[in-house]
Amino acid sequence: VPEVVLGEGKTADQIVAIVRELVAAGDDVLVTRLDDAAARAVLAEIPGLQHHPIARVATFEARPIVAEAIEPVAIVTAGTSDVPVAEEAFQTLRMIGIPATRVFDVGVAGIHRVFGELDVLTKAPAVMVVAGLEGALPSVVGGLVAVPVIAVPTSVGYGASFGGIAPLLTMLNSCAAGVSVVNIDNGFGAGYLAAVINRLALSERPD
Exposed/middle/buried for 8, CB within 10 Å: 0-12, 13-18, 19+? exposed
How many chain residues interact with a second copy (CB under 8 A)?
A: 75
Binding of a second copy by 173 (CB under 8 A)? yes
Question: Would you give the DSSP letter of residue 159?
Answer: G
204 contributes a contact to a second copy by CB under 8 A: yes
Nearby residues of 205 by Cβ (< 8 Å), 6 or more positions away: none
Q: Are strands 3-6 and 50-52 parallel, antiparallel or unpaired?
A: unpaired
Among 48, 53, 110, 116, binds a second copy (CB under 8 A): 110
Instruction: Determine, following the binding rule CB under 8 A, whether residue 88 of this chain makes contact with a second copy.
Output: no
Q: How far apart are CA 17 and CA 177, in angstroms?
A: 44
Confirm or reject binding of residue 170 to a second copy (CB under 8 A).
yes
Q: Which stretch binds a second copy (CB under 8 A): 22-30, 43-51, 53-61, 77-85?
A: 77-85
Residue 180 touches a second copy, criterion: CB under 8 A: yes
- Please provide residue 136's backbone torsions phi and psi, each rounded to the nearest 5 degrees: -85, -15
Does residue 120 bind a second copy (CB under 8 A)?
no
**Is 47 or 139 the residue whose CB approaches a second copy more closely?**
139
Select 38 or 126, whichever has its Cβ closest to a second copy. 126
197 scored as a contact of a second copy (CB under 8 A): yes
What is the C-alpha separation between 79 and 63, in angstroms, rounded? 34
Among residues 23 and 108, whose Cβ is nearest to a second copy?
A: 108
Q: Does 39 bind a second copy (CB under 8 A)?
A: no
Query: In sequence order, what E strands does 10-124 have?
Result: 29-32, 50-52, 57-60, 73-77, 100-103
